[in-house]
Chain A
């Protein structure tokens, strides 16, 4: 499978993100579920419009990156733009703070076990 951004110049990725190399919101998790709050609007940057179309239903950040064929870091910046503009919302993952030991509740673990056993 070819991944288009591999063939693209760094310049293009620079343009997509208006020169930003890291997202202002470092907290946006790789599996934060993103949901569009509105349809793409006229004049919107094409990558932003594509993300909104992808996120008609909840879609994890990492899946957006894979479908857009863009690196996760670039996708994180683009999604953060949409969150900041009120075009999308994020459902945050059920997880522990960074670097802390996961403190997943027994209820959640039971649910995961049951689902896996019924897979």
Chain B
């Protein structure tokens, strides 16, 4: 552990440091159930090896899902991975891989406050893992798209998946292979195009 500590001090920005001119940071969340490929997608497009950190929160008033309003405090910690893409001399985009389960969601309100939008990554073996995330993003009015990380599943059409998720027809649904850089990039492009269409027209 000590050698790691010294390394961090001696090489201040492992990976590639941001240009000194960068002033703005944007965020996109990649939300999905365990093992669906969130970190894989982040790694495919990130300019740095994905890093890991933890957010901890004491779940006092934050737990709005519990209608019983239990008074006791409980500390919850989630580990999450993130990567980044330097967009130009002044802007950087951070990509956060976020576990979408209900019990973690309140932590994301803080981590992802002000994000550009979200990608819900789904796996047809466990579509139910993404129901809560989709409900929550809709309720928060955070723009999102759904990407089906295709593990060679030829059985389910996108229409099947859209029906199973009861997805709003206005929300883009695409297939991807999170391991492929071009495919992962296309997921992000689709999200940003969707956000642009929401911003330019359709004031909800």
Contact = CB atoms under 8 A, between A and B. Distances in A.
A21 to B, nearest CB: 7
Interface range for A: 35 or more
B172 to A, nearest CB: 14
Contacts, number: 183
Interface in A95-113: 95-106, 108-113
A50 B9 contact: yes
Contacts of A50: 8-9
A95 B26 contact: yes
Interface residues of B, number: 63
Interface in A6-26: 7, 21-22
B114 A29 contact: yes
Contacts of B117: 102
B24 A91 contact: yes
A62 B94 contact: yes
Contact of B25 (A21, A31, A119): A31
7 contacts: A4-B5, A31-B27, A33-B92, A57-B19, A72-B53, A112-B87, A115-B88
Given A2-B1, A54-B8, 9 more contacts: A33-B22, A50-B9, A57-B20, A58-B20, A68-B8, A70-B53, A99-B113, A112-B26, A116-B85
